[in-house]
Amino acid sequence: MERELVKIYDTSLRDGLRNSGTTMTFEQKLRFAQQLEQLNVDAIEIGYGGPSQIESMSRLAEVVTGPVVFGLSRVNLKDIQRVLQGVERAKKPGVNVFSPVSDDFLRRAKKSRQQAIAATVAGVAYAKQYTDHVIFSAQDGSRADPTYLIEIFTAVIEAGATVVSIADSVSYAVPTQFGQLCDFICTHLPERNRATVSVHCHNELGLAVANSLAAIENGARQVECTVNGIGEGEGNTPLQGVVNALKVREDVFASVRTGITYEQLLTTSQLLTEIEGAVGS
């Protein structure tokens, strides 16, 4: 039986640098992006499309030849336009559109569930006009009503999303619960064969790798992560932890694989450590 690919989506250059204490010059970002390509990640997220980021995103995007190059955007069209401008020179440009889905986050955003669906569908449909690679990220998805997740995921896939992502934004999930949620989504999503289910976990509880592995066991086929787990607070899902677990425990994860060039893992980790040391010196 052919093993299914679990895509590795690296967000070190976006979420990894956000309020994390890790900073990079443009030259360091360029070197790191080239190393991520050597590592053979499937996607690289290079920024959020803020006005000051567009030029550097554009310069980074044009040097990446293999992975899909993503920028992160809110659902409003001006943000999406900036991200599209930032990634347009990439050989494979992509847009990751996020919106709150939990009742708590929707209340803070002063949006109803249906308003969130309408805005997100409009954003995804707009992005789809300009790129084949569109992700919808469900912010605080681990605390959302699963039936609402099905509703909004179905709508955005119909609008053109190629990936739907469940974000454990506040590091709330535990593996059993998160695995059950992913199983529910993968089992009940009518458009499942038209989109990949992804997960984006944070590590405040020290469970980001465990949650990501539980998601894979229950049908997720993309993990959003960072090298060395860098990121705000306790960080993001460590890329090495997921990749090593899938390789070392092939007896458990016999049906899946990654495309990662395993021999480049240590080199990539060491490069990031070197960059952090250079900035701090």
| Residues whose CB falls within 8 Å of the CB of residue 104, separated by 6 or more in sequence, listed in order | 140, 143
- What is the structure's pLDDT at 192? 73
- What is the structure's pLDDT at 19? 84
67 has pLDDT over 90: yes
- What is the structure's pLDDT at 191? 75
| pLDDT, mean of residues 100-125 | 98
Confidence of residue 281 (pLDDT cuts 50, 70, 90): very low
- What is the structure's pLDDT at 55? 94
268 has pLDDT over 60: yes
Confidence of residue 271 (pLDDT cuts 50, 70, 90): very high
- Nearest CA to 217 out of 173, 249, 169, 260 is that of 249
Distance in angstroms (rounded) separating the CA atoms of residues 174 and 50: 33
Rounded percentage of the chain residues whose pLDDT exceeds 70: 99
Residue 237: other Cβ atoms inside 10 A: 27
* pLDDT per position as a tens digit, 114-153: 999 999 999 999 999 999 999 999 999 999 999 999 999 9
Beta strands in the chain (DSSP E): 4-5, 7-10, 43-47, 68-73, 93-100, 133-139, 163-168, 196-201, 222-225, 256-257
Residue 1: other Cβ atoms inside 10 A: 5
- Nearest CA to 73 out of 31, 6, 122, 39 is that of 122
Six-digit token pair at 214? 């539980």
Distance in angstroms (rounded) separating the CA atoms of residues 276 and 169: 25
pLDDT averaged over the chain?
96
CA atoms within 13 A on the CB side of 89: 13
Confidence of residue 1 (pLDDT cuts 50, 70, 90): confident
Confidence of residue 279 (pLDDT cuts 50, 70, 90): low
* pLDDT per position as a tens digit, 13-51: 999 999 888 899 999 999 999 999 999 999 999 999 888
CB 210 within 8 A of CB 218: no
CATH architecture of 4-274: Alpha-Beta Barrel (3.20)
* pLDDT per position as a tens digit, 145-160: 999 999 999 999 999 9
- Nearest CA to 72 out of 27, 28, 16 is that of 16
Look at residue 3 and give its three-state secondary structure.
coil
* pLDDT per position as a tens digit, 171-200: 999 999 999 999 999 999 987 789 999 999
